[in-house]
Amino acid sequence: MKETKKNLERLRVLGADEKRKIEKQLQSQFGIKEIPGKLIMIGGEKLFVFLGDLDLEVLKKLDALGLIDKAGVYFAKILENEEEIRLTIEGCWLLKNQITKNIFEIPDEQMENWMKGQDLLIQTGKKGYIAIKYHSDILGCGKASQEKIGNFTPKSRRLKERTVF
């Protein structure tokens, strides 16, 4: 099987201009001013923050050999068709002290539903991606529409149903 250049460059270290563009979008959406470390894009849409000491060219070579699945912390996904960026749970935690916009604090009675991965039938008055806050914690990112907040909590991280015997 012939490998294409795209396959060999699955992991891409973003330059300063690309990083600034992402920071500008995150500032517009969430008030975030600066992302620490280097940014790595994997698969054309997933953004990772890399704070390590490993030379980035070495990372690229290891990726080309198929020895790297991920590098850094997966913190956001670029959604080109929506021209927005969705923060992951880790991205919300990593940048929580900078998030000042598009925050929605869910009521106590909805917290368990959110942690189970359910969409919340709540009108927020907001549209687009929002940071979900519960008291002093940021739980992740959801997508607000007129009638609900869409939940992106991965199945493996959802609170399981509890049964009492």
Residue 71 tokens read as 């590098």
Cα separation, 138 vs 100, in Å, equals: 12
**Model confidence, pTM:** 0.83
* pLDDT tens, N- to C-terminus, the chain (165 residues): 333 444 445 778 899 999 999 999 999 999 999 999 989 898 889 999 988 777 767 777 776 766 565 678 999 999 877 789 999 999 999 999 999 999 999 999 999 999 999 999 999 999 999 999 999 999 999 999 999 999 999 999 998 877 666
From CA 155, how far away is CA 117, in angstroms rounded?
A: 7
**What was the pLDDT predicted at 96?**
95
The residue behind tokens 């490998």 is 3
Phi, psi of 40 (to 5 degrees): -125, 135
Count CB atoms within 10 A of the CB of residue 37: 15
Residue 126: left (phi > 0), alpha (psi -120 to 50), or beta?
Answer: beta
Dig out the tokens for 105 from the structure.
């604090």
pLDDT for the residue 84? 92
Q: Quote the pLDDT of residue 1.
A: 33
Full set of structural domains in the chain with CATH: 1-101 (3.10.450), 102-165 (3.10.450.720)
Q: 50: Cβ–Cβ under 8 A, 6 or more apart, which residues?
A: 13, 37, 38, 39, 40, 56, 59, 71, 72
Cβ-Cβ contacts under 8 Å for 21 (sequence gap 6 or more): none
